[in-house]
Structure 1
Amino acid sequence: MVIINSFEEYKAYLGKQIGKSMWHKIDQEQINRFAEATLDFQWIHVDADKALNSPFGSTIAHGYLTLSLIPYLWKQIADIRDVKMEVNYGIEKFRFNLPVRVNDEVQLRAKLISISDLRGITKVVIQADLDIMGQTKMAYTGNVVFLYHFN
Structure 2
Amino acid sequence: MSTTVSYDAIADLAGTDLGYTEWLEITQDRINLFADATDDHQWIHVDPERAADGPFGDAIAHGFLSLSLAVKFWSELLETEGVTTKVNYGLDKVRFVSPVKVGARVRMNAVIVEVTEVKGGYQLHVDQTIEIEGAPKPAVVARGLYRFYA
- The TM-score range, normalised by the shorter chain, is over 0.9
Contact 2:10 2:122 in 1 (8 A): no
CA contact (8 A) 2:13 2:115 kept: no
Determine the structure 2 residue equivalent to 1:115.
115
Q: Distance in 1 between matches of 2:140 and 2:91?
A: 12
Residue 10 of structure 1: how far off its partner (Å)? 2.6
- Structure 2: unaligned runs, 5 residues or longer: none
User: How many angstroms apart in 2 are the aligned matches of 1:2 and 1:63?
Assistant: 27
> In the TM superposition, what is the alpha-carbon distance from 1:44 to its structure 2 partner?
0.2
Query: Where in structure 1 do 4 or more consecutive aligned residues deviate above 6 Å?
Result: none
- The Cα offsets for residues 25-48 of structure 1, whole Å up to 9 and x where unpaired, read as 110000000000100000000000
Once residues 140 and 65 of structure 1 are traced to their aligned partners in structure 2, the CA distance between those partners, rounded to angstroms, is 10
After superposition, what is the alpha-carbon deviation per residue over 1:45-70, rounded to whole angstroms, capped at 9, x for unaligned? 00000000112110000011111111
Q: Which residue of 2 aligns with 1:19?
A: 19
Match of 1:61 in 2: 61
Separation (CA, whole Å) in 1 of partners of 2:22 and 2:129: 13
Match of 1:69, SS state, is helix
TM-score (norm 2): 0.95
Q: Decide whether the 8 Å contact of 1:127 with 1:142 is kept in 2.
A: yes
Figure out how many residues of one structure are paired with residues of the other and give that number. Answer: 149
C-alpha separation in 2, matches of 1:10 and 1:135:
33
**Which secondary structure state, in structure 1, belongs to the residue aligned with residue 102 of structure 2?**
coil
For the Cα contact (< 8 Å) 1:2–1:19, is it kept in 2? no
In 2, distance between residues paired with 1:42 and 1:89? 29
What percentage of aligned pairs have identical amino acids?
Answer: 33
In 2, Cα distance between equivalents of 1:95 and 1:85: 28
Residue 84 of structure 2 aligns to a residue whose secondary structure is strand
Partners of 2:135 and 2:99 lie apart in 1 by: 11
**3-state SS of the aligned residue for 2:18?**
strand
Report the counterpart of residue 2 of structure 1 in structure 2: 3
SS at match of 1:10: helix
1:45–1:60 CA contact under 8 A, matched in 2: yes
Paired residues for 1:23-38 under 5 Å: 23-38=23-38
Distance 2:106 2:85 in 1: 28
User: Which residue in the other structure is 1:133 paired with?
Assistant: 133
Offset of 1:128 from its aligned partner?
Answer: 0.6
